Structure 1
Amino acid sequence: MGIELHHLRGFLAIADEQHFTRAAARLRLSQPSLSRNLRRLEEQLGVRLLERTTRRVTLTPAGERLYRQLAELLPRLEEALRPDRAGEILRLGFTWGFPAHWAHEAMDRFHEVTRARVIPIRRDEPLAGLDRGDADLAILRGSVTSPGIRTVTLQQEERIVAVAAHSPLARRERISWSEIPDLPLIINTVSGTTRLEDWPAERRPRLAATCTNFDEWLEAVAAGHGIGVVPDSIADRHIHPSVVFIPLEGAPTVPLQLAYPRQGTHPLTAEFVTLIQQAFAARPD
C-alpha cells in the first residue's frame, strides 16, 4: 500500500478539527495538499472516511474506526521513530588551522539540537581523511576536485606571508604577490594552499624546501629556509615566536570549504551543514 505517515497525520488533523482550513494550518500545509492527501488515503483503503458538506466535516463509520485506532497507534509509532541520538558522533576532519569561535559554536549548537557530538579529527592529507572514511565531514582550504566530494564554500580567505623573525623581510609592512617569485618559497605539498603553479610558468618562485604537514612548514619558515604563503586566519591561531606574518597584496584568495561525501553521507550531515553556515554568518566581522 502507498500509505505514508503524512496521509495519516492529515486524516487525524481533519478529524480533530472537523475543518479542512484549520487542519491545514495546524499541519502547515496548503488546503489543496491536505485534500489530495486525504483523497489518496481513501483511494488506498477503498472506503470513504469523511462526509463533506459546505458547512461541516464528519466521520463515516469507517472513518470512526480508523480514527480510534490511529489516535492510539500513531503517537506510539512516531515515538518509536524518534531515536535517541545521544551516542551519535559526527567526525569533522581538518588538516591544520581548525577555525576558532564559529566552528566551536556550531558544534555546541549541534549538540544542543541533536544530542549528538562533533569530534574534530586531524589528518595530514589533502581531504583530511574524508576519502578514506576517517571523517564524515571536513573543513578544507583550497579547491577540491574529487568527484565523490560535495563542498559548501563558507568564505574566500585572504593570504599572508610568513617569514622568519630574524629575516630583513620581517620589518616590511606588506609584500606584493608579484614579489614572491623573487623569494625562496617553502611549500606544504600535502595540505598546503600554495603551489608553484599559482604563478605563470615563466615566472615562478624558487622552491627552497617542501614539507608534508603544517608543523614542518612552520618550523622551516622559523629556521629561515624561506618564506611561506598561507590564509590570513592562520596568524590568529598558530603564533610562533620565530615567525612573523605580513599582509600580502594582490594575491588570489583561498576558499574555505565544508566538504562531505556525495554518497554514504552521515544522516546528520545536512543538519550540521546548516548550523555551521548559520554560525559562520553570525560571526563578528
Structure 2
Amino acid sequence: MSKYCYLLSFFLYPLLIQADATCAAEDGVCTLTNDEASHPPPACRTVVLSFVHDIYSNGGSAQAYKPHQPEKNEICNPLLYESSRYRTATWPFFSFSSSARPPQLNLTIQPWRCEESTCCEWQNSNVTLEIWQTRPDGTYSSLRPGQQEGDCRARQQGNTLTFTTVAPGSTGSLGGLGPYGYDLAPYGPPVLHILAQHPGMEPLLLNLPILTQRTTLESKPFHYSDWRGAAWTQPQVDVAPYHIALWEPNIAENSIDIHLDVYLQPQKDRVFLTKKLCRSWIYGLPSSFFVEPISVCAASMLDFFAL
C-alpha cells in the first residue's frame, strides 16, 4: 500500500477533499485532511528521513554548477538539440552514441516540507530550484562567467515549478569536462542536477537519473554501480529524498512528462551554501574536481582548463 501513497495524494485529490482519509505507511499512518481544499493533501513517505549535515550525502554532485543563472523554465532549448548526438551509457564500460533525436522532458517539480513523521506538508512558499545538466552529447556548457549563460542551466522560484528540456547525455571518467567533449570509460547514468533552496530549510542537492529505453521512452535502470572511481561515486542512500510520482512517455511526440516530488527538511544550522558546497582543502584532485563546483570553490582553476 505504501508505494501508492504518492499517487493517491495527487490523482485521488478530488475525492480526498470531500472527507478525511488515511494513507498507510510502513512506519505509521499518514492522515490526509481537508483543512485547505485549495492545497494538495500531505504526501506520505515510507521511511523517516534523517537530518544530514553534508549536502553530498544524498548522492548529488555539484561538479559543473554555475551560480547566478537566468531565471527561466527552459533548461536546454529542445529546438537547439534536435540534431545533436545523443550519448548514453547503460553500464559503466560502454556508451552508445546515435543521431536519434533526444526526447524532450516536461518536468513538474513539487517541493514538500518534511518533519520527523511520515507526512510531508506542501511547501506553499517559494522554493528556489536550480537545475543544470549535460547536453545530449554528454558535455557541459562553459563554467566561465559571461560565457554560454543559461545554456542547459535554469533557475526558478515557486511552490510548484515546471521546466522543459531535453534528455541529458552520460559522462565518463572526465565528468563531461574533457576537451572537445572527449571522455573515457567508465561511464555513469545521465542525470539532471537539482539544487533546492529555501530560507529555513536545508539546501538539497540531487542527481535525478534520466535513462530511457530508446524505443519506448520508459525509465531504464543503470546496470551495476557507478564505477567512475571512489572520488565520483556518491553515497548510496536507502531512501532518496525525492520520488518520481509520474513518468509518462509520449512516443508520437518523442517526449516524457515527469512529476517529481522533492522532500526538504527544516534547517538545523545556518552554514552558508558556499561552505556546504566547498568541503575540500585541495582543489584539482579527483576528490573535489568531479564533486564540488570549480566555478564556486576554485575559480582560479578555470585559467588552467578549457571549461
* TM more than 0.5: no
Which has more radius of gyration? 1
Which interval holds the TM-score relative to the shorter structure? under 0.3
More helix by share: 1
TM-score, scaled relative to structure 2: 0.19
